[in-house]
């Protein structure tokens, strides 16, 4: 695979703000504005909002038009999603690709935005899995320093960066309906670090995203890399706030195996699973059990099809904070002997 170079930003660069999935700014405008202020003041970037960004009833055509216009805009250097959702499987893969191929730019978003990251990957355009306006930029209290560090790599830096585990994490949110929460700090817990399996080392091009979105791609026949391309891939995946059961996770990973993908990929990186949500408030003990079950489930499914590749789990990307804004369509190096991980930003 040949991937295009996308422009890195500098102070004063303009970024487009779009809502390719849920238009959360229409429901939580104070949180949205809080996130925009962080983007402007902390990162010294200028914001250009597009018409359907805060339009709750925007059509799919309006969302697609905003994405096209953002990439075609001559002054825009990067495009950032406000949040995820559950709609991109219905339209992203149908968009005419001309604007994106002719005007490649860095895109930032995760969760449902896995679909757009995959769409760009297939056209040789790298992106970044992470950094939503309402989540990471609008983090209550202060933005996490770990998140800011990796966002700066994604926005401004170029080259291979060694990743390290965050010393702490949180996955217990606070209601956006109470504006006073914006000044409060969430509950953080000690991070147990990464979990390694397999003695081999590997390098390849990153592809992946939210497991539930990958499941949608498989179910709906959405174009994804072909088997030859998967032979060069380091797969990354993580689960969402839906907190799927280990049985569901097993079936999706097994589907990747039955498609011939797991036997070809070079390695797997798994993000820390979110184990708490407002409608599923697990205790700290139950969260540990849930995460352990998911780790074991993923390994059991993978090892049915590939006994050798390195599998590293509990990484700081996806539906967790602090968060690595994880590069998609970039080189990753997994050094199992030294237990080190490098990714190209």
Q: For 48-81, what is each residue's pLDDT tens digit?
A: 999 999 999 999 999 999 999 999 999 999 999 9
- pLDDT, position 225: 98
Q: Residues 186-207: what's their mean pLDDT?
A: 97
Terminal-to-terminal C-alpha distance of the chain: 17
- pLDDT, position 199: 87
Which one-letter DSSP state was computed for residue 111?
G
Angle, helices 211-220 vs 114-121, to 10°: value is 60
Distance CA 317, CA 326 (A): 7
**Within a domain: 306:** yes
Q: How many domains does the chain have?
A: 2
**Within a domain: 147:** no
Q: For 295-304, what is each residue's pLDDT tens digit?
A: 999 999 999 9
**Within a domain: 37:** yes
Percent share of the chain, pLDDT over 90: 99
Residue 98 has pLDDT above 90, yes or no: yes
**Within a domain: 109:** yes
CATH of residue 123:
3.40.50.10740
- Report residue 1's pLDDT band, with 50, 70 and 90 as the boundaries: confident
* 168/283 same-domain check: yes
* 94/234 same-domain check: no
Q: CB atoms < 10 A from the CB of 301, how many?
A: 20
* 73/174 same-domain check: no
CATH of residue 274:
3.50.30.60
**Within a domain: 42:** yes
> Nearest CA to 113 among 94, 132, 139, 134?
132
Please list the residues that pair with 335 across neighbouring strands.
340
Residue 192 has pLDDT above 90, yes or no: yes
* 199/312 same-domain check: yes
* 286/186 same-domain check: yes
Distance CA 262, CA 277 (A): 30
């Amino acid at each position: 695979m040949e991937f295009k170079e996308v422009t890195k930003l500098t102070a004063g660069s303009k970024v487009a703000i779009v809502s390719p999935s849920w238009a959360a700014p229409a429901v939580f405008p104070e949180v949205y504005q809080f996130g925009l202020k962080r983007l402007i003041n902390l990162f010294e970037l200028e914001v250009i909002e597009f018409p359907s960004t805060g339009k709750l009833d925007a059509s799919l055509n309006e969302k697609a038009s905003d994405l096209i216009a953002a990439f075609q805009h001559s002054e825009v250097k990067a495009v950032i999603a406000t949040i995820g959702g559950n709609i991109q499987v219905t339209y992203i893969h149908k968009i005419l690709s001309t604007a994106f191929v002719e005007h490649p730019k860095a895109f930032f978003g995760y969760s449902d935005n896995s679909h757009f990251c995959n769409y760009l990957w297939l056209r040789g355009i790298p992106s970044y899995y992470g950094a939503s306006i309402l989540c990471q930029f609008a983090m209550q209290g202060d933005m996490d320093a770990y998140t800011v560090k990796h966002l700066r790599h994604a926005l401004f830096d170029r080259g291979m960066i060694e990743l390290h585990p965050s010393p702490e994490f949180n996955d217990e949110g606070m209601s956006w309906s109470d504006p006073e929460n914006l000044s409060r700090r969430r509950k953080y817990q000690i991070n147990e670090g990464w979990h390694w399996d397999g003695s081999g080392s590997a390098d390849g091009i990153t592809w992946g995203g939210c497991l539930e979105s990958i499941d949608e791609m498989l179910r709906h026949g959405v174009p994804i890399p072909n088997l030859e391309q998967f032979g060069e891939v380091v797969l990354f995946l993580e689960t969402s706030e839906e907190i799927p059961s280990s049985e569901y996770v097993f079936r999706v990973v097994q589907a990747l195996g039955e498609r011939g993908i797991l036997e070809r990929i070079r390695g797997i990186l798994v993000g820390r699973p979110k184990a708490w949500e407002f409608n599923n408030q697990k205790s700290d003990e139950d969260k540990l059990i849930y995460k352990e079950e998911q780790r074991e489930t993923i390994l059991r499914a993978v090892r049915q099809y590939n006994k050798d590749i390195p599998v590293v789990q509990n990484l700081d990307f996806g539906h967790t904070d602090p968060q690595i804004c994880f590069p998609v369509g970039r080189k990753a190096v997994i050094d199992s002997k030294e237990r080190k991980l490098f990714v190209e930003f």
